[in-house]
Amino acid sequence: MSRPAACRWRRLLTSERIPVKVRSLLAGLLFVLGTVGRTAAGEAPVVVATLAPLHSLAAFVMRGAGRPDLLLAPGVSPHFYQLRPSEARRLAEAEVILWVGPELENFLVRPLANLAPDAVRVTASRLPGIRLLPAADDARKAPSPEAYDPHLWLDPANARVIGEALAAVLAERDPARADLYRTNARALERALAELRRELDSLLAPVRGRPFLVLHDAFRYFETAFGLRGLGAVTVSPERPPGPRRLAEILRRIRREGVVCIFSEPQLRSPLLDRLVADTGVRTATLDPLGVGIDPGPELYFRLLQRNAEAVRACLGG
């Protein structure tokens, strides 16, 4: 399909004047036409990853074959996000979509059904071998696909599973490069193992020191590296704690000897300033998404390294 023709199709797919069912049918036809054209040209499948850390893993697996598309820029939170027309066009062209799942990227559920009904979805939260932790407000129950902490990529073991699963999907869709995808997935596994060893060593001196996080997004990181996280100030950025909860947090900081409270680049709360003023606790920043890091295969490793260094500095200071 020529570029001008593809552009005309994309405009149709994102036009609010066309009924949803018709757009869904058009998306399916565009997918078939685009796949045939790319296969004939020998191009790699079009992969769209929703979040920068997932995109980084995909870029590693696709080295030497092609580049995945990133839907949300590093640091953009998927919570309550609204899809833009340009992003809808990317979805319409996707052959493979890598996402955590509907519990995190809920804004994608309908667009995926309407714009990319035939794309293969690699849903990280549903992959065999992925370790899920229960949702923060349901911590006494076993995790399930309906009630889990969605920040699962912050565990390198889960990143390995995601890389392997994506490589298998790409090998099936692009047999000519199957060996390349599998080789890259094995290289990713080795790189993640080395990262794990380095961060284990870096964090060992502060492993028993207690801390809190402003938003409960780091339990996979805490669990993977044996850190003593005591929970979150707030379960959700949209749900600030009430007076009773705040008093409980202040008592816990003093009782447990909390050393540090970690915020996020996207979150700066007056509540944190109050906790610091009342207790003298130190603060630092942890990042689940990769703010300020260039997208690509190195982002995931730089993200975890940066978080580990922040933990070591704040807890060890």
Dist CA 146 CA 162 (whole Å): 19
Whether the predicted pLDDT of 111 surpasses 50? yes
**Class of the CATH domain delimited by 206-316:** alpha beta
CATH number of 3-198: 3.40.50.1980
Tens of pLDDT, residue by residue over 116-132, are 999 999 999 999 999 99
Residue 97's pLDDT is: 98
51 vs 72: CA distance, rounded Å: 6
Q: Stretch 35-59: mean pLDDT, rounded?
A: 82
- Give every CB contact of residue 228 below 8 A, 6+ residues apart in sequence: 207, 208, 209, 210, 211, 222
Give the pLDDT score at 271. Answer: 79
> Do 3-198 and 206-316 have matching folds?
yes
Q: What is this structure's pTM?
A: 0.84
Mean pLDDT of the chain: 86
Most confident of 21-35, 77-91, 159-173: 159-173
Report the pLDDT value the prediction gives residue 82, as an integer from 0 to 100: 87
* Adjacent-strand bridge partners of 98: 49, 122
Q: Where are the domains of the chain?
A: 3-198, 206-316
Instruction: Report the C-alpha gap between 265 and 291 in whole angstroms.
Output: 7
With cut-offs at 50, 70 and 90, classify the pLDDT of residue 146.
low
Looking at residue 241, its pLDDT comes to: 74
- Answer whether residue 30 shows pLDDT above 60: no
Q: How high is the pLDDT of residue 237?
A: 61
**Model pLDDT, residue 7:** 46
Write down the pLDDT at residue 316: 94
